[in-house]
Amino acid sequence: MWFLTVFPVLLLAIHLPNIKSEWHGDAGPWVIATEGEVWPRPARNWTFDEFYLLRYSNFQILYDGYCDITLRAIHRYTHIIFAHTRSARKVNKNKPKKNFSNDPAFKGFIKTLNIEGPTSDCKDLLPTLYADEHYVLNINRTGDEATLSSETTWGILRGLETFSQLLTPSGSGAYLKIRRQVIIDGPRLPHRGLLLDTSRHYLPLADIRLTLDAMSYNKLNVLHWHIVDDNSFPYQSETYPNLSKEGAYHSSMVYSIANINDIIQYARLRGIWVIPEFDTPGHTRSWGNAYPELLTTCYNSTGQPNGRLGPIDPTKDSVYSFISTLFTEVVQVFPGSYLHLGGDEVPFSCWASNPDIIKYMDSQKLGRNFAKLEEQYIHKVLDIVSALNTTAIVWQEVFDNGVSLPNSTIVHVWTGSWKTELSKITAAGHPVLLSACWYLDHTAEGGDWKKFYVCDPMDFPGFNTSRLMLGGEACMWGEFVDKNNIHPRIWPRASAAAERLWSEFADDLDTAARRLEEHACRMNRRGIPAQPPNGSGFCVV
Per CB under 8 A, residues contacting its own copies are: 23-30, 90-91, 93-94, 199-202, 230-233, 247-253, 285-286, 289, 441-447, 478-485, 487-489, 524, 529-532, 535-540
Where in 99-206 does DSSP place strands (E)? 106-109, 112-116, 135-139, 145-149, 168-169, 176-185, 191-197
In angstroms, the CA 239 to CA 74 distance is: 39
Cβ pair 195, 210 in contact under 8 A: no
Identity of the residue, 243 or 468, whose beta carbon is nearer to its own copies in the bound complex: 243
**Please, which residue, 359 or 442, has the CB nearer to its own copies?**
442
Cα dihedral 60→65→68→71 (10° resolution):
0
Comparing CB distances to its own copies, the nearer of 489 and 500 is 489
Q: What is the dihedral of CA 231, 237, 239, 241, to 10 degrees?
A: 60
CB of 88 to its own copies, least distance (A): 13
Q: Minimum distance between the CB of residue 29 and its own copies, rounded to whole angstroms?
A: 8
Question: Is the CB of 136 or the CB of 228 nearer to its own copies?
Answer: 228
The least distance separating its own copies from the CB of residue 247, rounded to whole angstroms, comes to 6
Identify which of residues 23 and 334 has a Cβ nearer to its own copies in the complex: 23
Residue 312: CB atoms within 10 A of its CB come to 26
Angstrom distance (rounded) from CA 81 to CA 97: 21
User: Can 246 be counted among the known catalytic residues?
Assistant: no
Catalytic, out of 238, 293, 345, 479: 345
CB of 91 to its own copies, least distance (A): 8
Round to whole Å and give the CA distance between 113 and 163. 9
Distance separating the N- and C-terminal Cα atoms of the chain: 37
**In angstroms, what CA-CA distances link 363 with 354, 402, 435?**
14, 21, 39
Compare residues 141 and 442 and give the one whose CB is closer to its own copies. Answer: 442
Q: Which is nearer to its own copies, 91 or 129 (CB)?
A: 91
Q: Which residues make Cβ contacts (< 8 Å) with residue 527, sequence separation at least 6? A: 210, 213
Cα separations in angstroms, 190 against 70, 272, 364, 412: 20, 12, 42, 15
Burial code of 114-142, b = ≥16 C-beta within 10 A, e = fewer?
bbbbbeeebeebbbebebebbbbbbbbee
Q: Of 159 and 234, which CB lies nearer to its own copies in the complex structure?
A: 234
Task: Kindly state the smallest distance separating residue 404's Cβ from its own copies, in Å.
Answer: 33
Shortest CB 95 distance to its own copies, Å? 10
Q: What is the DSSP letter of 58?
A: G
* Tally of CB atoms within 10 A around 505: 10
Residue 177, helix vs strand vs coil: strand
**Could you tell me if 164 and 84 are in contact, meaning their C-beta atoms sit under 8 angstroms apart?**
yes
Round to whole Å and give the CA distance between 196 and 340: 13
Closer to its own copies by Cβ: residue 227 or 384: 227
CA atoms within 13 A on the CB side of 334: 29
Question: What's the min distance (Å) between Cβ of 308 and its own copies?
Answer: 10
* Strands (DSSP E) found in 388-538: 391-395, 410-413, 432-434, 469-476
Phi, psi at 284, each rounded to 5°: -125, 20
Helix (H, G, I), strand (E, B) or coil at 234: coil
Least spacing, CB of residue 92 vs its own copies, in Å: 10
Rounded to the nearest whole angstrom, what is the least distance from the CB of residue 392 to its own copies in the complex? 26
- For residues 169 and 202, the answer to whether their CB atoms sit within 8 Å is no
Element (H or E) spanning 54, and its range?
strand 44-54
Q: In the bound complex, what is the minimum distance in angstroms from residue 487's beta carbon to its own copies? A: 7
Based on CB atoms, which residue is closest to its own copies, 184 or 481?
Answer: 481
Residues with a catalytic annotation lie at 345
